[in-house]
Amino acid sequence: MRFVNAWMLVLVLLVPVAGAFWTFLRARSEARLRRIVAPALQRRLLPNRPKTFLVQAILLLSGLALCLFAAARPQWGHSQQVIAAKSRNVVVALDVSRSMLADDVRPNRLERAKADIADLVDSLEGDRCALVAFRQKGVLLCPLTTDRAFLRSALESATPESAPRGETDLGAAIRASLQALDPAMDDHNAIILITDGGDLRNNAFAYAHAAKKRGIPIFTVGLGDPRRDSTIPDASGKGVQMFKGQPVKVRLEEGALREIASASGGRYVALATAGTAETTLGAIYRKFLRQVAAKEQAEEEELRATERFGLFLAPGLLLILVAAFLSRGRFAGTVKRLKS
């Protein structure tokens, strides 16, 4: 047996003390009346039902003790209880750097990611989702919400101009994602990081370890072809972006993404370039994140102790009511007052 409010047991121990003090006050009051009241009036003024008073006092004090014991919330045994599952909070961090415009994934990496995130939105089933766009910094485009229409609107507006220009910083993306999550719900929080892996700041691992400390897994999703280079369209969209007279080439860099996922307790998933039903974000969400939530919920049900306060509260209230009925409007042992 365990007690949620064990300190209430101290009040239970004080009930007999209160009963003894009550009896003492009653006896002292009667003794004073006997000294100052004429014998002829003592029958009218002094309690004439001592046995009824004793029964009433026992019932009242016993009921009070049981109610206080119930307030301590005794628990013993375990039972399978149906508990409303907590909703999972998911932050999707989307890389909107210009390297995401490479077309090794059709129509390009960014548009493929947006299409998969839209598929993820359809798989939420009541869970809340937020959207962060990042390049040099992470920008919260949509806070945690269950409003799919609002989330889709924010997703459709995501472009390379949605975040400040600069070197791609995966650490900034993770930091912004952690800030969007409520620490009180960390056991049901997760981050999905979608990028081509081009981390040019190398501070992502520190934030991945910070996520691990909060119990937040990071699922990294790699977009692009890791085996061959791809070019990036220029600002006009008609040519190839050049640097020092040479075309800029990029490829999926999986190493950092695997390490970030491992450091945070998450998983790395590479989206196939062709795109199949098994490699969409919706499928990944159903396969990994929803299973994690189900596992946590099952463990919570298995270890939940059974509340037993009702076994003491109901008889306690019943005893107090019986004591009240015996008094007929006043306690049986209450000393009557002289009318002036």
User: Tell me, what amino acid is at 19?
Assistant: G
Average pLDDT over residues 142-164: 92
Per mean pLDDT, which range of 38-47, 74-83, 240-249, 314-323 is the poorest? 38-47
Q: Based on the domain organization, do 71 and 204 belong to the same domain?
A: no
Q: Based on the domain organization, do 142 and 233 belong to the same domain?
A: yes
Q: Percent of the chain scored above 90 by pLDDT?
A: 26
Q: Is residue 261 part of a domain?
A: yes
Q: Based on the domain organization, do 73 and 130 belong to the same domain?
A: no
Q: Based on the domain organization, do 42 and 151 belong to the same domain?
A: no
Q: Is residue 338 part of a domain?
A: no
Instruction: Look at residue 331 and tell me whether its pLDDT is greater than 60.
Output: no
Q: What is the mean pLDDT of the chain?
A: 80
Instruction: Look at residue 40 and tell me whether its pLDDT is greater than 80.
Output: no
Q: Is residue 333 part of a domain?
A: no
Q: Based on the domain organization, do 54 and 101 belong to the same domain?
A: no
State pTM to two decimals. 0.60
CATH code: domain of residue 141 = 3.40.50.410
Q: Based on the domain organization, do 313 and 228 belong to the same domain?
A: no
Instruction: Name residues whose C-beta falls within 8 Å of residue 106's C-beta, 6 or more positions apart in sequence.
Output: 112, 275
Instruction: Look at residue 335 and tell me whether its pLDDT is greater than 50.
Output: no
Model pLDDT, residue 298: 46
**CB-CB neighbours of 163 under 10 Å:** 26
Model pLDDT, residue 85: 52
Q: Is residue 337 part of a domain?
A: no
DSSP state at residue 84 = P
Average pLDDT over residues 114-131: 86
Instruction: Name residues whose C-beta falls within 8 Å of residue 231's C-beta, 6 or more positions apart in sequence.
Output: 102, 240, 241, 247, 248, 249
Q: Is residue 84 part of a domain?
A: no
Instruction: Look at residue 337 and tell me whether its pLDDT is greater than 70.
Output: no
Q: Based on the domain organization, do 141 and 231 belong to the same domain?
A: yes
Per mean pLDDT, which range of 59-63, 114-118, 285-289 is the poorest? 285-289
Q: Based on the domain organization, do 162 and 215 belong to the same domain?
A: yes
Average pLDDT over residues 186-197: 85
Average pLDDT over residues 143-171: 91
Are 117 and 92 in contact by the 8 Å Cβ rule? The answer is yes
Q: Based on the domain organization, do 145 and 182 belong to the same domain?
A: yes
Reported as a pLDDT band with limits 50, 70 and 90, residue 250 is confident
> The domain containing residue 41 runs over which residues?
2-79+305-327
Q: Based on the domain organization, do 297 and 311 belong to the same domain?
A: no
Model pLDDT, residue 272: 55
